[in-house]
């Protein structure tokens, strides 16, 4: 009997671990039961499934409105330790996601989070001083305890982005995994030369909208050409969740003691 109980709890632990990893890697996003428009739009996410109840009942949901007048703190620290990775693209029906191989991580205020994937939204999900950008990039990380941290970056129209160019050149409009392992990309190119970021506690911006996500949204935007922005919008014209209630959360605008290694 003790052996049966032991095996049972091992299986439960594996199931929970798989569920958490599925959220980070975006496996749940292949579920087309939710959408950004139509009958299953964001206002209805909490009604689609009991697993998505947090989308409507959670008190610390993302995205939120950000403002340069937020409380300023000057002792923040983000260190990115990203390496180049073979290009593996997941067109999952909701966004374009790039999966990252193990070994790259960020130190966010002294805590280590491994980079799992990054993906894109248009227009931006967060607003800055009441304005949306053309796109927003989310770098999704997870620590050893399973906690999630996201580094978000606004994308505005400007000069072509070389890293985006490599991704877009190997992108198929068909849904599914696309591997171009002869191509390598380096997410550190997204992070260079940024000096301030907004920090707050929020949630995933897609179902199941799990909370306790450590959000770090960099104030200085990336640039991408109009052609690059339109190439994404041709696949996903709108995949941004609406702004959520602030609910008196503390949002800090932090001056980065920045290092990139």
Per-residue pLDDT tens digits for 52-71: 999 999 999 999 999 988 77
Write the pLDDT tens digit of every residue in 136-166: 999 999 999 999 999 999 999 999 999 999 9
Cα gap 197→218, rounded to integer Å: 4
In the prediction, which pLDDT does 192 show? 75
pLDDT at 204 over 70: yes
* pLDDT average, residue stretch 80-94: 96
* pLDDT average, residue stretch 76-80: 85
* pLDDT average, residue stretch 217-241: 97
CATH of domain 2-260: 3.10.200.10
* pLDDT average, residue stretch 234-247: 97
In the prediction, which pLDDT does 30 show? 47
More confident residue, 143 or 76: 143
* pLDDT average, residue stretch 163-191: 93
Return the domain boundaries, the chain: 2-260
Predicted model pTM: 0.88
> How many CB atoms are located within 10 Å of the residue 21 CB?
13
* pLDDT average, residue stretch 174-189: 93
DSSP conformation letters of 180-236: EEEEEE-GGGGTTT--EEEEEEEE-SSTT--EEEEEEEEEEEEEE-HHHHHHHHHH-
In the prediction, which pLDDT does 257 show? 57
* pLDDT average, residue stretch 174-197: 89
């Amino acid at each position: 009997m003790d052996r049966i109980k032991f095996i049972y709890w091992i299986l439960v632990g594996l199931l929970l671990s798989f569920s958490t990893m599925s959220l980070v890697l975006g496996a749940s996003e292949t579920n087309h039961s939710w959408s950004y428009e139509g009958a299953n739009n964001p206002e209805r996410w909490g009604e689609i499934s009991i697993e998505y109840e947090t989308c409507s009942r959670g008190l610390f949901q993302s995205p939120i409105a950000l403002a340069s007048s937020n409380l300023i703190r000057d002792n923040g620290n983000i260190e990115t330790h990203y390496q180049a990775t073979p290009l593996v693209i997941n067109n999952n029906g909701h966004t374009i996601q790039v999966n990252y191989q193990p070994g790259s991580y960020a130190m966010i205020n002294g805590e280590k989070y491994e980079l799992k994937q990054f993906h894109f939204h248009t227009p931006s999900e967060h607003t800055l001083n009441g304005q949306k950008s053309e796109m927003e990039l989310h770098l999704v990380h997870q620590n050893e305890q399973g906690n999630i941290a996201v580094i978000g970056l606004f994308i505005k129209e400007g000069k072509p982005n070389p890293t985006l160019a490599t991704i877009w050149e190997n992108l198929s409009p068909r849904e599914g995994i696309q591997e171009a392992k002869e191509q390598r990309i380096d997410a550190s190119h997204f992070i260079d030369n940024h000096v301030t970021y907004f920090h707050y506690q929020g949630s995933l911006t897609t179902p199941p909208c799990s909370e306790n996500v450590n959000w770090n949204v960099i104030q200085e935007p990336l640039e991408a050409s109009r052609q690059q922005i339109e190439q994404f919008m041709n696949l996903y014209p709108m995949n941004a969740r609406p702004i959520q209630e602030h609910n008196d959360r503390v949002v800090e605008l932090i001056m980065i003691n920045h290092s990139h290694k």
